[in-house]
Structure 1
Amino acid sequence: MRSGTAATEPTHRFAVATVAALWALRLLTAAGLAVDAYVHADLAPTYDFSGPGISQGQLFRIEAAAAALAALLLILFGTRRLVWAYALSVAAAGVGAVLLYRYVDVGALGPLRDMYEPVWYPEKTLSAFAEAAAALLAAFGLLLAHRRSTSGR
């Protein structure tokens, strides 16, 4: 029997469980962000308009690209806190925007037209749920990645 084996085994199990949990969070968060990216890319042409300013379609394309990038970064570099923070900010901004413009008539803001849309439809609902789930999962992932990095594992 090696000395110290009994003391290090629980620590090793915790490290393995943390890595497994991070992978599960990475995949689930990336899936939520992928749904977000798909829905926004699919809806973007519907919200295009000609004229001065930034169209909602352009904003949808930006959201789609940001969400796709966040999903990719999570898969490739999901142990880094900065990646989790980026994923959290993209998902939270997406769900925040959809809820804001669903329930509040903000009006036009600078180059942005009034984007108030007081209805729910299937793709909008799907996107909101995916963004909310991704934001929640990314918050847990950020916490777990932070704990893992500060514990030296």
Structure 2
Amino acid sequence: MAPPPTDRRHRTASGLRTFALRILQVATAAALAADAYIHADLAPAYDPVGQHISQGTLFRVEAAAASLAALLVLLLGRRRPVWAFAFLVSLTALVCVVLYRYVDVGAIGPLPNMYEPTWFPEKTASAVAVAVGTVTSFAGFRITGRPR
């Protein structure tokens, strides 16, 4: 006996959702990995910036957070909190790169003044990567639905 037509539509929709989630996992992980690589690569050049906590240290923290988020998205991409973490990592990196490009915030407590009013290839690539990561991680968060 053939299954009702709604079962076929449900399986097709479920298959498309799974496929879309896989694409989002790969895209988000790639964006976060690119961001992590760029920050880790640039960190030594920014070690002299700051008295208490150097900008190089902050770049290493960003690289570690982005690496962890990329790994979690690939391994546990069906879990909504993983997507939320990836979104927060991407969004905060995007806000910081744009904010410190256009606004001289100054030092905040032990954090250095990271104002840098220029775009250069690595900075632009990082900004694009985290923008992509922000959009794809948000989509991944939405597609995973509410936790049961």
Q: Deviations over 1:27-61 (max 9, x none)?
A: 00100000000000000000002874111000000
Q: Deviations over 1:76-110 (max 9, x none)?
A: 00010000000000000001000000000001100
Residues 106/87 of structure 1: CA separation in 2 closer, same or farther (3 Å cut):
same
Look up the equivalent residue of 2:10 and give its one-letter code. Answer: T
Distance 1:132 1:9 in 2: 36
What are the equivalent positions in structure 2 for 1:103-142 lying under 5 Å apart?
103-142=102-141
TM-score by length of 2: 0.95
Distance 2:50 2:126 in 1: 27
TM-score by length of 1: 0.92
Aligned to 1:57: 56
Q: Is the 8 A contact 2:31 2:129 kept in 1?
A: yes
4+ long deviations beyond 6 Å = none
* Deviation, structure 1 residue 114: 1.1
* Deviation, structure 1 residue 5: 2.9
What are the equivalent positions in structure 2 for 1:23-102 lying under 5 Å apart?
23-49=22-48, 52-102=51-101
Distance 1:128 1:144 in 2: 24
Aligned to 1:19: 18
Q: Flag structure 2 segments of 5+ consecutive residues without an equivalent.
A: none
Look up the equivalent residue of 2:97 and give its one-letter code. Answer: V
Q: Deviations over 1:102-142 (max 9, x none)?
A: 00000110001211000000000000000000000101110
Distance 1:72 1:145 in 2: 17
Residues 50/124 of structure 1: CA separation in 2 closer, same or farther (3 Å cut):
closer
Aligned residue-pair number: 148
**Percent identity at matched positions?**
51
Look up the equivalent residue of 2:36 and give its one-letter code. Answer: A
Look up the equivalent residue of 1:124 and give its one-letter code. Answer: K
Distance 1:70 1:12 in 2: 30
Residues 20/50 of structure 1: CA separation in 2 closer, same or farther (3 Å cut):
closer
